[in-house]
Amino acid sequence: MLKEMKAYSHLKPGQNGTKRLLEQYGDKLLCVRYRYDETRGVKLKTVEIIVEERPLHHPRFKDDDMVPVSVAFDEMELRELLSKKCGHGGSRS
């Protein structure tokens, strides 16, 4: 159906021809297209709206995940603190 239709106008929210739809959909309105279908002999007004919004990337770690931390050899206070808190010796054999 869309293949036979030609878009003759593509309007951004706020332009003439989108005012009522902007009132109806608000910030969810992305664009308004006016199309015509010569085979059926009709004009159509279509809207593109946002129906769902999600973060692009999931967080790499959860809040309670253990993650590797690199501590320099000369950061003795931090090494001791981590050793006491985590129960790891911090040294590799």
Question: Would you say residue 55 lies in a domain?
Answer: no
Question: Would you say residue 24 lies in a domain?
Answer: yes
DSSP state of 61: S
b/e sequence 14-52, b meaning 16+ C-beta within 10 Å: eeeebeebbeebeeebeebeebeeeeeeeeeeebeeeee
Range of the domain at 16: 2-49
Question: Would you say residue 90 lies in a domain?
Answer: no
Q: What pLDDT digit, counting tens, does each position of 27-72 carry?
A: 999 999 999 988 888 999 999 999 999 888 877 888 888 888 888 9
* Residue 31: alpha-carbon gap to chain centroid: 18
Question: Would you say residue 10 lies in a domain?
Answer: yes
How far is residue 30's CA from residue 53's CA, in Å, rounded to a whole number? 13
Question: Would you say residue 82 lies in a domain?
Answer: no
Question: Would you say residue 88 lies in a domain?
Answer: no
- Domains held by the chain: number: 1
How far is residue 70's CA from residue 67's CA, in Å, rounded to a whole number? 10
Question: Would you say residue 64 lies in a domain?
Answer: no
pTM: 0.55
pLDDT at 91 over 60: no
Instruction: Summarize the confidence of residues 63-92 as an average pLDDT.
Output: 80
